[in-house]
Amino acid sequence: MTERPVYLDNMASTPVDPRVVEAMAPFWSTAFGNPHSVEHAFGWQADEAVERAAASVAALIGADADEIIFTAGATEANNLAILGLAHRAPAGRRRMLVSAVEHKSVLAAARAAAGRYGTIVEVIPVDAEGRIDLDRLAGMISEDVICVVAMAVNNEIGTVQDIPAVAAICATADVHLVCDAVQAPLGVDLDVDRCKIPLLVLSAHKIYGPKGIGALYVRRDVQNMIEPQVYGGGQQRGLRAGTLPTPLCVGFGTAAELLGTEEAIGERAMIASLRDHFEDGLRRLGHPVVINGGGASRHPGNSNVRFRGRDGRDLIAALQPRFAVSSGSACSSGIVEPSHVLRAIGLTGEEANSSVRFSFGRFTTEADVAAAMEALSDAIFSDEAA
Ligand code: PMP
């Protein structure tokens, strides 16, 4: 067997689809104009490309192009939504409800809002599968809440939230819902109108597009309720100043368009079947494993596995340098801590640290899965024999 690298970390980032690279190419070379230059053809050409990209990203979620604000990624989009809403919160609305399993860019932005604006941040608990406790949310919601922040699909354990149900609870007190949908497009369909989502976050590099670009969808009637976080030349309706990176916008738009094709829709089932095959194989290895979170409603490409009695990081180290996977712990400022998501679903620190996330995508093959299985078997049993 050749020792080619095997990439099973698609929830961290996806490879850029070659068709996306091809679509971006002219915008690095001949079509380099500033999309905000209104006086000449170079500018018009770039502007047209950016507008088309915004329309394609919007179409992915059932929105209109003028409701898309491009950002440098989902981290910035989450910051813009949370800090922007907190800054302009009407008198009488000071609380912000954030689910326990949100990405760090949400948790850190909410903490910053508390420091800057005195926002009171409260955590919405989740069940053992990572699903928001809707009864608890209904009990917490009231007319003093600025917004609820709830992700559509969890990036660690793949849990798909019932976003329409969360939105319905928000509506009872006229509260904005900020939905981090970064991991959604490859796994579930989300339509902002049907699901009644006023703010939604996307990132290109999780959908086979380039890094360095994401988007905040803001429904038209909410746009004046957000304080910009980047000031400048008034681009993007004043909500996020700065010259747009045309090639990245085009890449994002193309990646979004590709997701609308028949082929991409069929791909979900293919990916889920590879994942299921992987999990069946793992169970047959003979070492006790538990699948963390997700349950019946899980992203097709996610498999977060707890290897009983093992340290996840040791297993990952044994798979190097060939296999790309992620651990159930996070390293912040040099200190390794168990994942807050795994802790929130009730795992102990030790259980969280014995977990490894495998994530499958468009370019994963059966041979990749077989190779990973063999390497895992070696890693587990050579260690047990030692
Ligand atoms: N939210 C979620 C759910 C994510 O998975 C990520 C990326 N890990 C982010 C936000 C941040 O995205 P970006 O890399 O585009 O800043």
Q: What is the DSSP string of 331-344?
A: EETTEEEE-HHHHH
* Cα–Cα distance for residue pair 291/289, rounded to 1 Å: 7
**Atom 12, ligand 1: residue with shortest CA distance:** 74
Question: Which range, of 152-156, 327-331, 351-355, 369-373, averages the lowest pLDDT?
Answer: 327-331
What is the pLDDT averaged over residues 357-386? 90
Q: Per 3-state DSSP, what percentage of the chain is helix, strand, and coil (rounded to 5)?
A: 45, 20, 40
Mutate to test the pocket of ligand 1, among 14, 99, 105 (most ligand atoms within 8 A of CB): 105
The response to whether residue 99 sits with its C-beta less than 6 Å from ligand 1 reads: no
Could you give the 3-state DSSP secondary structure of residue 236? helix
Mutate to test the pocket of ligand 1, among 76, 155, 163 (most ligand atoms within 8 A of CB): 155
What is the pLDDT averaged over residues 138-164? 98
**Atom 9, ligand 1: residue with shortest CA distance:** 74
Cα of 103 vs centre of ligand 1, distance in Å, is 7
Q: Which of 221, 152, 220, 141 is nearest to 174 (CA)?
A: 141
Q: What is the pLDDT of residues 94-132, one digit of tens each?
A: 999 999 999 999 999 999 999 999 999 999 999 999 999
What is the pLDDT averaged over residues 255-271? 93
pLDDT, residue 3, reads 82
The response to whether residue 161 sits with its C-beta less than 6 Å from ligand 1 reads: no
pLDDT, residue 336, reads 78
* Cα–Cα distance for residue pair 125/140, rounded to 1 Å: 11
pLDDT, residue 126, reads 98
Task: From the CA of 76, give the closest atom in ligand 1.
Answer: 16
If 0-12 CB within 10 Å is exposed, 13-18 middle and 19+ buried, where does residue 94 land? middle
If 0-12 CB within 10 Å is exposed, 13-18 middle and 19+ buried, where does residue 279 land? middle
Task: From the CA of 154, give the closest atom in ligand 1.
Answer: 3
Distances in whole angstroms, Cα of residue 126 to Cα of each of 131, 164, 351: 5, 16, 18
Cα of 153 vs centre of ligand 1, distance in Å, is 11
Q: What is the pLDDT of residues 287-343, one digit of tens each?
A: 999 999 978 899 999 999 999 999 999 999 999 999 999 987 666 566 778 999 999
The response to whether residue 75 sits with its C-beta less than 6 Å from ligand 1 reads: yes
Name the DSSP class of 30: T
Task: From the CA of 155, give the closest atom in ligand 1.
Answer: 5
Dihedral sign of CA atoms 51, 52, 54, 55 in order: positive
pLDDT, residue 262, reads 86
Query: Cα angle at 160 between 154 and 163, to 5 degrees?
Result: 105
- Return all residues near 298 (Cβ < 8 A) that are at least 6 apart: 157, 158, 159, 160
What is the pLDDT averaged over residues 141-169? 98
**Atom 8, ligand 1: residue with shortest CA distance:** 12
pLDDT over threshold 90, residue 370: yes
Task: From the CA of 153, give the closest atom in ligand 1.
Answer: 3
Is residue 265 very low, low, confident or very high in pLDDT (cuts 50, 70, 90)? Answer: confident
How high does pLDDT run on average in the chain? 95
pLDDT, residue 296, reads 81
Task: From the CA of 102, give the closest atom in ligand 1.
Answer: 3
Cα of 381 vs centre of ligand 1, distance in Å, is 35
Cα of 178 vs centre of ligand 1, distance in Å, is 14
Can you list the domains of the chain with their CATH numbers? 6-16+266-385 (3.90.1150.10), 18-258 (3.40.640.10)
* 195 catalytically annotated: no
Cα of 75 vs centre of ligand 1, distance in Å, is 6
The response to whether residue 183 sits with its C-beta less than 6 Å from ligand 1 reads: yes
Cα of 185 vs centre of ligand 1, distance in Å, is 13
The response to whether residue 329 sits with its C-beta less than 6 Å from ligand 1 reads: no
Q: What is the pLDDT of residues 12-24, one digit of tens each?
A: 999 999 999 999 9
Q: What is the pLDDT of residues 209-228, one digit of tens each?
A: 999 999 999 999 999 999 99
Mutate to test the pocket of ligand 1, among 76, 200, 206, 248 (most ligand atoms within 8 A of CB): 206
Cα of 267 vs centre of ligand 1, distance in Å, is 22
Q: What is the pLDDT of residues 48-66, one digit of tens each?
A: 999 999 999 999 999 999 9
Q: What is the pLDDT of residues 22-47, one digit of tens each?
A: 999 999 999 999 999 999 999 999 99
